[in-house]
Amino acid sequence: MEKILIIGANGQIGSELFDALAGRYGQANVIAADISPNSLFGAPSYECLDVLDAGHVAQVIEQYDITQVYQLAALLSVTGEQAPLKAWTLNMNGLLNILEIARERRQAGKPLKVFWPSSIAAFGPHTPAVDTPQLAVMDPTTIYGISKQAGERLCEYYFSKFGVDVRSIRYPGIISYKSPPGGGTTDYAIAMLVAARRGERYVCYLRADTILPMIYMPDAIRATIELMEAPSENIRVRSSYNIAGLSFSPAELVRAITSRVAGFEVDYAPDDRQAIADTWPHSLDDTHARADWGWHAATGLDALVADMLRNLSPAAGKLHRVA
Ligand code: NAD
């Protein structure tokens, strides 16, 4: 019987992952944890937990006899640039704490499977931008990207040196309507869809032609669970897998929206986030994920826009979690 702990469960991904895992493994077997005192979505089993407090994390894992940890707590690309040391400390030490606990538990005969997400931010200006290969030059320019690149090396190290069963995906920008995004460079896409739904004009902080890899939340959640459920011997990449969802620019998103929302208008006022976006890939080659664990994306741009507009609340001043 799997017992699952999600750390960072109140966030954009964690809250949806909770629903998916609870549906699959039973609510009683999924424990939500976050640094905030309460579950933002009423998780029945919730722990207020700082991932930087290794002793407390180990105690919770022991208490529930946890077999899988999803370590999602992090500062993202934009919030990370506002507090680089905090981002480095949280992103690196949070992962290290989990890997160390997994190493110790494995030695004690209590294996702990770990999921930790990397990001397209681990790439940089000298990475081939189109169909970025799994193995490519990586010279990230943000503290967030640097922490993701280093984290990938740690994951591979803990697998090859200590046999820790750690698995990872380089998530593209994730688009969702249930929970608000956490401060990334790709958040504009969600903000634009919210503005369209509310009948407002939108000011985009990226240039109209900035193509970035994105993925719809249901695809991202499915990828995560498929990777975690794949047989260990199939997982040949222990740093982090490229997965492709879809790639589009703000101008292409506007076109897809205006075919459904007549009169929607966007102004462009690129800010600091443009410099970050300019160092990231346009599209990803996900051959390894397809071959190793059968990954394929299901949602294209038109279907994504239609589903987002259908599900976003018209009154939403900001995104709110819906059941
Ligand atoms: P988010 O900011 O929405 O959620 C992060 C959660 O971590 C928050 O609920 C926060 O309260 C919690 N947290 C912060 N510090 C903590 C601590 N010390 N201990 C415990 N919890 C703490 O982020 P997200 O978008 O859900 O991202 C989750 C992971 O996925 C991150 O590692 C992120 O880098 C990665 N990722 C996300 C995207 C995306 O588009 N959302 C893309 C690429 C990678």
* Residue identifier of the C-alpha nearest atom 4 of ligand 1: 11
Ligand 1 pocket test, candidate residues 81, 123, 143, 171, most atoms within 8 A of CB: 171
Q: Using 50, 70 and 90 to split pLDDT, how confident is the model at 182?
A: confident
| Domain extents in the chain | 4-171, 174-213+245-317
CA of 140 to the centre of ligand 1 (A): 19
Whether 144 is catalytic: yes
CA of 322 to the centre of ligand 1 (A): 19
Q: Whole-prediction pTM value?
A: 0.96
CATH architecture of the domain formed by 174-213+245-317: Alpha-Beta Complex (3.90)
**Alpha carbon 203 to chain centroid, angstroms:** 25
Contact 114, 100 (CB under 8 A): no
Ligand 1-lining residues (CB < 6 angstroms): 7-8, 10-14, 34-36, 49-52, 72-74, 76, 90, 117, 119, 171, 173-174, 181-182, 184, 186
CA of 91 to the centre of ligand 1 (A): 9
Structure tokens at 127: 């990475």
Instruction: Report the pLDDT value the prediction gives residue 321, as an integer from 0 to 100.
Output: 44
Are 4-171 and 174-213+245-317 in the same CATH fold?
A: no
The predicted-structure confidence for 83-138, as pLDDT tens digits, reads as follows: 999 999 999 999 999 999 999 999 999 999 999 999 999 999 999 999 999 999 99
Ligand 1 atom nearest to 90, measured from its CA: 18
Please give, one letter per residue, the 3-state secondary structure of the chain. Answer: CCCEEEECCCCHHHHHHHHHHHHHHCHHHEEEEECCCCCCCCCCCEEECCCCCHHHHHHHHHHHCCCEEEECCCCCHHHHHHCHHHHHHHHHHHHHHHHHHHHHHHHCCCCCEEECCEEHHHCCCCCCCCCECCCCCCCCCCHHHHHHHHHHHHHHHHHHHHCCCEECEEECEEECCCCCCCCCHHHHHHHHHHHHHCCCCEEECCCCCCCEEEEEHHHHHHHHHHHHHCCHHHCCCCCCEECCCEEECHHHHHHHHHCCCCCCCEEECCCHHHHHHCCCCCCECCHHHHHHHCCCCCCCHHHHHHHHHHHCCCCCCCCCCCC
Ligand 1 atom nearest to 118, measured from its CA: 44
CATH number of 4-171: 3.40.50.720
Instruction: Report the pLDDT value the prediction gives residue 270, as an integer from 0 to 100.
Output: 98
Q: Is the pLDDT of residue 215 over 60?
A: yes
Ligand 1 atom nearest to 79, measured from its CA: 2
Q: Is the pLDDT of residue 40 over 60?
A: yes
Ligand 1 atom nearest to 40, measured from its CA: 9
The predicted-structure confidence for 188-203, as pLDDT tens digits, reads as follows: 999 999 999 999 999 9
Q: Is the pLDDT of residue 43 over 80?
A: yes
CA of 259 to the centre of ligand 1 (A): 33
* Residue identifier of the C-alpha nearest atom 44 of ligand 1: 119
Instruction: Report the pLDDT value the prediction gives residue 317, as an integer from 0 to 100.
Output: 43
CA of 263 to the centre of ligand 1 (A): 35
Structure tokens at 307: 């589903």
Residue whose entry in the numeric block shows the structure tokens 């999924």: 30
Give the CA angle between residues 214, 14, 10 to the nearest 5°.
120
Ligand 1 pocket test, candidate residues 6, 19, 35, most atoms within 8 A of CB: 35
Give me the catalytic one of 46, 70, 144, 188.
Answer: 144
d(CA 105, CA 59): 12
Instruction: Report the pLDDT value the prediction gives residue 250, as an integer from 0 to 100.
Output: 98
CA of 76 to the centre of ligand 1 (A): 7
Those residues whose C-beta lies under 8 Å from the C-beta of residue 160, and which sit 6 or more positions away, are 238
Instruction: Report the pLDDT value the prediction gives residue 223, as an integer from 0 to 100.
Output: 98
Contact 246, 304 (CB under 8 A): yes
